[in-house]
Amino acid sequence: MTSQAARLPLAFFLLRVVVTTDAFQAITSSSPAQQQRLPKRAPATFVSMLPSSIQQQRQQYSHTGVLWKQQLGPSATTVSSTTLLRSSSSENDEASSDETKLQKKIAARKKRVEIGYQASALALASMTCIGFVKYRFYQPIPIPFMLYIISGPWMASSVAFHLVGSGSNDRLKTDSCKRLNLALASFGFIGLLAKDVITTAQPLWIFACLVAMINSIKGYGYGLKGWDLKMMDGNAGAVKDILGGSLTSLQSVFSLPAIFSRSTGYAALAVTFGAMKCATMYKLISHIVAAGPMNKMVWISLAFQWKKLLLLTVAALTLKEAVDQNETESPKGWGAAPVGLGLATAVATGFTAAYSIQQGSVYLGGWIALLAVFSTVDGINRWTALNLPIKVAKTRVN
């Protein structure tokens, strides 16, 4: 017993060496067969001398390295290339999905804006027809006065119809479309304020002005920020854009390529209507600030004249810029600039000339009538050259 007790510490020391060696070999070994033979490496001499509890602890230690090796494995210590590829592919798919959603959203916005322009153009055209029938047959008034009344919704309907193709052609960001949108929105806003003067089909008038105002504001916003509603490069905020656009428009009026040119004719048209608009605004402000209560019929009549002259001024400036840039591309047909918008402006200008002459302003009416003839002839020539080029060419050859 004494000799056996003396050999016991030595046996424990050798057991620890063996267990440490087995654990190290289990960690560094890559062969499963060698890992399975690890428990057999302990010498039988030392094992037989140990109690059963120590033998179980020894087996547990010897298997520690094997289990740790199996749990870690190559997949836990190294990143698989397949995992990286899958991650990259998923990121690309998400980016593609976001881009597709954005494109669908932009297409839906364009469609809604187009429908808004069409709805406002149709409603305002209906109001034009209703006014003509009412003041021509049911409540007859002098024809020049009747034509001057219906020229407002007529011009607004023409501007809205002109803007129909601007959304799909991505032209809302141009200065001309921005001006037309702001003018049409102002027309709708003033029409809503002065809705009480409309006694026939008032709900239709309210609908037309409301749609025109809201849709034009949206059109201006999309032109300013883009269809994704992010501020585009080179564009400022709304206030800066409006002030800068006003200065640019004022400069472009007096920018003439030649004295006797079509550009000069449209510049004269813009200056004439602009001066009439300023005079009407002066009368309106004078009536508002004057002592005593305001007469509803007076300020509403002046407000209606101002919004109509605003549309005519902006349309004339748009026609001048279109002539200077030789623009004939978008959109074709009666809504093209300066074709359809030019003819609509010529008609409204003729109505204004007749009203001015009827009111006794012979010189002003005569001047406006001359501008109406010019814009009518130019609009017809451009429409035939754009829509009937073959027939025009054959006629010239013959």
Whether 56 is in a domain gets the answer: yes
Give residue 235's pLDDT.
56
pLDDT tens figures, 275-302: 999 999 999 898 888 767 777 778 888 8
Whether 233 is in a domain gets the answer: yes
Q: Based on the domain organization, do 133 and 193 belong to the same domain?
A: yes
Q: Based on the domain organization, do 174 and 312 belong to the same domain?
A: yes
pLDDT tens figures, 319-363: 888 888 765 444 443 444 456 788 899 999 999 999 999 999 999
Q: Based on the domain organization, do 39 and 115 belong to the same domain?
A: no
- Which of 51, 70, 89 is a domain's end point? 70
Tell me the Ramachandran region of residue 295: left when phi exceeds 0, alpha when psi lies from -120 to 50, beta otherwise: beta
Q: Based on the domain organization, do 359 and 214 belong to the same domain?
A: yes
Q: Based on the domain organization, do 47 and 174 belong to the same domain?
A: no
Tokens representing 233? 């490069």
Rg (CA), the chain: 42
Dihedral angle, C-alpha 87, 89, 94, 96, nearest 10 °: 160
Q: Based on the domain organization, do 245 and 346 belong to the same domain?
A: yes
pLDDT tens figures, 133-147: 999 999 999 999 999
CA distance 26 to 34: 8
Whether 226 is in a domain gets the answer: yes
Give the number of other CB atoms < 10 A from CB of residue 26.
20
Whether 93 is in a domain gets the answer: no
39 upstream amide cis, omega within 30 of 0: no
- Which of 70, 92, 127 is a domain's end point? 70
Q: What's the mean pLDDT in 302-307? A: 91
Q: Based on the domain organization, do 181 and 323 belong to the same domain?
A: yes
Q: Based on the domain organization, do 53 and 158 belong to the same domain?
A: no
Instruction: Count structural domains, the chain.
Output: 2
Q: Based on the domain organization, do 140 and 216 belong to the same domain?
A: yes
pLDDT tens figures, 222-259: 888 888 777 655 556 777 878 877 787 777 777 777 77
Q: Based on the domain organization, do 138 and 42 belong to the same domain?
A: no
DSSP structure string for 251-313 = HHHT--S-SSSHHHHHHHHHHHHHHHHHHHHHHHHHHHHSSSPPPHHHHHHHHHHHHHHHHHH
Domain that residue 213 falls in? 101-397
Q: Based on the domain organization, do 216 and 354 belong to the same domain?
A: yes
Whether 186 is in a domain gets the answer: yes
Is the full-model pTM beyond 0.85? no
Q: Based on the domain organization, do 112 and 41 belong to the same domain?
A: no
